Amino acid sequence: MILISVIIGSITGNIDEVTQAAIDSAKLAVELAIGLIGIMALWLGMMKIAEESGLIQSIAKIIRPLVVWLFPEVPPDHPAMGAIILNMAANILGLGNAATPLGLKAMQELQELNPQKDTATNAMCTFLALNTSSVTLILPATVVGLMGINANQIFLSTILATTMSTIAAIIAVKSLEKSQRFAIQSPNKCEEIEEDRLISK
């Protein structure tokens, strides 16, 4: 990208501007980041209070039935289910720092249930699709910092957009897991079960 800029800048005679832009942008980057500290500190402080007051657990209770329905392969009382629910609750609250360790825990527990250790299970794919679609109610601190007072409006638009992407993720993952192309390939029992399931569908 920088190489293209220098070449095109030379052709169009903008090479001085290109140099100036490099210097100005580097300066701007630091100014921007420093400017974010205040709002981000405020926001992350608030979110820490939310975390300490058990908001993750409250959200977890609300979403539990939905999550149990989304993961028919995982027994509802298995530790994997608990980790999945807590990870999603943390994501909903925009608590990325709290969500990642819970997500890794959920993957470990799901791996316990996995008969074929190098291949993802349906539950794992569903879990990751939901994670990448970013179910969220609260904006990341960086976005609040950058948008300032306009962040108010971004809350609703983000909730709506993320709802759409989450629905898309669920539909995609649930229809793709039945597709022959993504079936688990291995000459063991696992495949037979998978095939039986495909035939019965």
Tokens of 155: 């809350």
Is 40 a binding residue for another protein by CB under 8 A? The answer is yes
- Cα separation, 74 vs 110, in Å, equals 8
Interface of this chain with another protein, residues 165 to 184, rule: CB under 8 A: 165-169, 172-173, 176-177, 179, 182, 184
* Least distance between another protein and beta carbon 192 (Å): 17
Residue 18 Cα to chain centre, angstroms:
36
Is 161 a binding residue for another protein by CB under 8 A? The answer is yes
The Cβ of residue 31 has, within 10 Å, a number of other Cβ atoms equal to 10
Work out the angle between the directed axes of helices 79-92 and 96-112 (0-180°, nearest 10): 160
Please pick, from the candidates 20, 61, 193, 197, the single residue that binds another protein as defined by CB under 8 A: 20
Is 24 a binding residue for another protein by CB under 8 A? The answer is yes
Closest CA to 76 of 87, 89, 66: 66
Interface of this chain with another protein, residues 62 to 121, rule: CB under 8 A: 97, 100, 103-104, 107-108, 110-111, 117-120
* Least distance between another protein and beta carbon 81 (Å): 17
